[in-house]
Amino acid sequence: MADSILIQEDLVKLSAKVRPGETHSKKWIVIHETGNTSSTAGALNHAKFIKRLAEENQKYLSWHYTVDDTNIIRHIPDREIAWHAGDGRKSDGGNMSGIGIEICVNKNSNFQIAVKNATKLVASLMKKFNIDLSHIKQHHFFNGKNCPFTIRKYNFWDRFLSMCNAEFQLLR
Ligand SMILES: [Zn+2]
């Protein structure tokens, strides 16, 4: 069956500190916001940014998807590990066992639609990996960072989860 949402795959190259290529079972979906409000900081430019990170291979920083109001881009295969949750190599932690999704907050992207797109992506991953709603987590859950900032600030998290659940129900 085809994905119910259109995901663009634009993978970064294997790179020890960005995409080590190590696979791990997946237990969590980890929600982030980019925190970058500059107008150009949409999903396409994040794809360029993470590819540059992989070229430079200087820091442990990566995530699986970036979502804005028009694009859902996969940078790293779902089953591989990535460095987004700030919990190192903790067993069953966010980096090792999570799929990291960055939601763009740039001015040129409609945040409401970006969030909606993210919930569709979450639903498709819930189905693909048999992950239930209790394993959809904020970045904050893993290391206390105030992320996803806007969703936390406006107490939108419960609503976000019910949107994910509704999208998931529609997939059946
Ligand atoms: Zn985060």
Give the C-alpha separation, 81 to 130, whole Å.
Answer: 18
Å from CA of 85 to ligand 1 middle: 6
pLDDT band for 27, please (50, 70, 90 cuts).
very high
pLDDT range class, residue 1, cuts 50, 70, 90: very low
Q: Distance from the CA of 84 to the center of ligand 1, in angstroms?
A: 6
The residue written with tokens 């997946």 in the block is: 26
CA of 82 to the centre of ligand 1 (A): 12
Averaged pLDDT score across all residues of the chain: 96
Amino acid identity, position 68: D
pLDDT digits (tens, 9 = 90+) for 104-115: 999 999 999 999
Q: Is the pLDDT reported for residue 162 higher than 60?
A: yes
Banded pLDDT at 81 (limits 50, 70, 90): very high
Q: What percent of the chain has pLDDT over 90?
A: 97
Between the CA of 28 and the centroid of ligand 1 the distance, in Å, is 14
- Cα 93 to averaged position of ligand 1 atoms, centre (Å): 14
3 state SS for 81-119: CCCCCCCCCCCCCHHHHEEEEEECCCCCCCHHHHHHHHH
pLDDT for residue 2 is more than 70: no
Distance 33 CA to ligand 1 centre (A): 6
- Per-residue pLDDT of 119-148, as tens digits, reads 999 999 999 999 999 999 999 999 999 999
Distance 34 CA to ligand 1 centre (A): 7
CA of 96 to the centre of ligand 1 (A): 15
Whole-number Å distance, alpha carbon 63 to ligand 1 midpoint, is 9
- CA–centroid distance for 45 within its chain: 15
Place of tokens 């993978």: 11
Among 60, 165, 78, 74, which Cα is nearest to 123's?
165
4 pLDDT tier (thresholds 50, 70, 90):
low
For residue 3, what pLDDT is reported? 53
Cα of 112 from ligand 1 centre, angstroms: 18
Pairing of strands 72-74, 65-67: antiparallel
